[in-house]
């Protein structure tokens, strides 16, 4: 069986794809069972699309794979705690589980700044677990932003 750590390592590989494009290095994948059904990495600059976050692109790919926007029973792995837009998309897609790497105390919407994924006001709650490979996920982000200063 593939572990959360194994899937997070794949998300880190995807984050490096974003970094190669000078995008904020965030990678995400959607898994059903042990099968990756969607992947994405940040591309809002490349695609000229403010919604082209890693999570959104991975959700779109997974929905295409399944032929349904509802992604019940899936797990989304992402290297950075989702922002409010992405967290709401996870809820609306009925993703069962969220696993993320680094916490985002300024914009995170899975327990840091906000908590949309488990909010009772939402029509679905996502089981959430943060901190998987947090040091590695945080390091790639820190290095990216330090290189731009």
Sign of CA dihedral 79, 122, 116, 130: negative
Active-site residue, 55 included:
yes
Q: Where are the beta strands (DSSP E) in 21-107?
A: 27-32, 35-41, 74-80, 97-102
Bridge partners, 38 (sequence order): 30
Q: Give the whole-number percent of the chain exceeding pLDDT 90.
A: 97
pLDDT at 145: 95
67/27 Cα distance (integer angstroms): 22
80-99 mean pLDDT: 98
Q: DSSP letter for 54, please.
A: H
| Dihedral pair phi/psi, residue 15, rounded to 5° | -60, -35
Residues paired with residue 29 on neighbouring β-strands, in sequence order? 39, 77
| pLDDT confidence tier of residue 104, bands split at 50, 70 and 90 | very high
Whole-model pTM?
0.97
Token pair listed for 130: 């943060």
- Helix or strand or coil: residue 57? helix
- Kindly report the backbone phi and psi dihedral angles of residue 56, in degrees, each rounded to the nearest multiple of 5, phi listed first: -65, -45
Catalytically annotated residue among 23, 39, 55, 81: 55
Residue 1 clears pLDDT 80, i.e. is over it: no
* Helices and strands, counts by H and E, the chain: 5, 5
Q: Provide mean pLDDT across the span 5-27.
A: 98
DSSP letters, 98-129, are EEEEE--TTT-TBTTS-B-TT-TTSS---EEE
Q: What is the mean pLDDT of residues 131-136?
A: 98
Distance between CA atoms of residues 34 and 102, nearest Å: 23
């Amino acid at each position: 069986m593939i572990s959360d750590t194994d899937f997070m390592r794949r998300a880190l590989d995807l984050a490096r794809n974003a970094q190669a494009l000078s995008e904020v290095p965030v990678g995400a994948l959607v898994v059903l069972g042990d099968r990756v059904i969607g992947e994405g990495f940040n591309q809002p600059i490349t695609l000229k699309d403010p919604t082209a976050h890693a999570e959104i692109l991975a959700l779109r790919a997974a929905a295409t794979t399944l032929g349904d926007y509802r992604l019940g029973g899936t797990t989304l792995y992402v290297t950075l705690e989702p922002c409010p837009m992405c967290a709401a998309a996870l809820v609306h897609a009925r993703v069962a589980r969220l696993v993320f790497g680094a916490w985002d105390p300024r914009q995170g919407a899975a327990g840091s700044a906000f908590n949309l994924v488990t909010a009772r006001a939402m029509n679905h709650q996502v089981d959430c677990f943060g901190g998987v490979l947090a040091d590695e996920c945080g390091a790639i982000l820190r290095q990216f932003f330090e290189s731009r200063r």
